[in-house]
A and B are shown apart, each in its own frame.
Chain A
């Protein structure tokens, strides 16, 4: 007994030593984002009222933000730096800066964005999440901070030119838990849907030919086109998808605070800068400016379907 017990203890200590060594490396793979300009001195820390979620975050000194880790240019992990970067990440940094706290970024895929808010794993979700009335029954949204559109991505030489070409036998990839599950079921009922956990899988599938098309927000698809320019966006926009920052149900002060913060970013030019840096320089397009879309408009675009 003693002999083998000793072996186990030694093995365990070796593993722990390995772990400690690996942690001595100051690589926080989780990513603390790129807090580029540190409080240029212009923004004063926000005064949060007692009892609001913002006050809690300020007390903790940190706010946990769920972002995508595999969707450039909105949220993606860079293995060379070990950090997460992207438009959503920068919006998160902007919000955290206003509060005067440290942002902590965790991965939130489409399927667990809402559970993360419900169970408190994440304080905020900035994960290319479209505002819908159904989702509003589970969580709360800020005003729209980006307006994406649903598009279709196809490989070079494809016959598909639009939603009508997604007929019987075509295979279309999108993420489980995204609005496109429903949208495609409606607009392309004969197509065969491949539902995956993460858009990086859809990207792989369209490149290796196991699907004929990918359908999701244009920004996500643009990220794919940037990485592989043989792919192309086709057809008219399927939907308008206003993104909102998500907070847990009932945190109305937080939702209002976030809406105000987003509006400030429109006013002080930050939004335009971020857009140009992360999206504009690649697409060269002029999207619809989110200031034109209100929260009510967003709800009307995605009215009650299942859960309300």
Chain B
């Protein structure tokens, strides 16, 4: 216990640029999560629509696609793409990456591998969220829309999707939290994000190679690293609860799609 609370073990936070260094690298995690989520929402919607298609074959094949990705470990998908992605794709990313991105993301071919891997994985979960959201409405609303003479796609666009999307916000934010945690895994792909930065701070702090002279023990460093994730994710989940409350005020008690860690379920009213 003494080791945990000994102030000498925490001094490194204030030494040199250690803390700023960690914060900067954390931005990479956040950025990666946002980019992947944006792409996953688009791809996920497409997959969800395929999944609920009236065509039995499309629906079944998409179902298999979703189930396969949801049953594999994220790390396996990440490592596979990290090691197997062909050259052209990585070069393409380095060419098109916008200038405002930090160099660790802009110039790294590994990043595109991680974006592709995380998007494929994440979009499968998002697709299920969308599907649950849409199907939670479909019967009553779908019939009403049909009774009003709206064709399928118009009904989708005007009636079902807007309402469905609102219900999916909590689950989507929950998935964003999971995704943020998953970005820590890209450290295994040698991408310079927060977990890797923690290792560097721990390694170099006490050493003659670029250290501040103040030792940064691994336990304390990673407690700080963990705390950064917790604070960010907590903020996200508070945001999600706020949105849920607003929704409830607006539309009365509402069925929302929720879940624990990758699981999707409809929260009954």
Contact = CB atoms under 8 A, between A and B. Distances in A.
Is there any pair of Cβ atoms, one from A and one from B, under 8 angstroms apart in the complex? Answer: yes
Nearest to B173: A8
A166 interface: no
Most B-side CB within 10 Å, residue of A16, A64, A80, A109: A80
Contacts of A106: 107-108
A29 B192 contact: yes
Contacts of A137: none
A227 B206 contact: yes
A interface residue count range (under 10 / 10 to 19 / 20 to 34 / 35 or more) = 35 or more
B243 A7 contact: yes
Given A79-B18, A119-B90, A1 B209 contact: no
Interface stretch (B62-70, B114-122, B126-134, B197-205): B197-205
Contacts of A25: 24
Most A-side CB within 10 Å, residue of B18, B34, B82, B210: B210
A30 interface: yes
Given A1-B166, A112-B83, A112-B190, A121 B104 contact: no
Contacts of B91: 120
Contact of A28 (B82, B103, B189): B103
A148 to B, nearest CB: 18
A64 B30 CA distance: 26
Interface in B83-102: 83-87, 90-91, 100-102
A104 B107 contact: yes
Interface in B169-191: 169, 188-190
Contacts of A15: 30-31, 34
Contacts of A223: 209
Given A4-B166, A23-B100, A72-B209, A80 B17 contact: yes
A109 B27 contact: no
Given A29-B25, A70-B200, A79-B197, A120 B109 contact: yes
A30 B107 contact: yes
Nearest to B110: A121
A227 B189 CA distance: 26
Interface in B8-24: 16-18, 21, 24
Given A19-B102, A69-B192, 6 more contacts: A19-B101, A22-B27, A29-B192, A112-B190, A116-B109, A197-B190
21 contacts: A1-B166, A3-B246, A4-B243, A4-B246, A16-B100, A19-B27, A22-B24, A23-B100, A69-B190, A73-B209, A79-B200, A79-B204, A80-B204, A80-B212, A85-B210, A106-B108, A118-B87, A121-B109, A200-B200, A226-B207, A227-B206
- 9 closest cross-chain pairs (CB), A and B: A78-B210, A121-B109, A120-B87, A119-B87, A227-B207, A72-B209, A30-B103, A107-B190, A79-B21
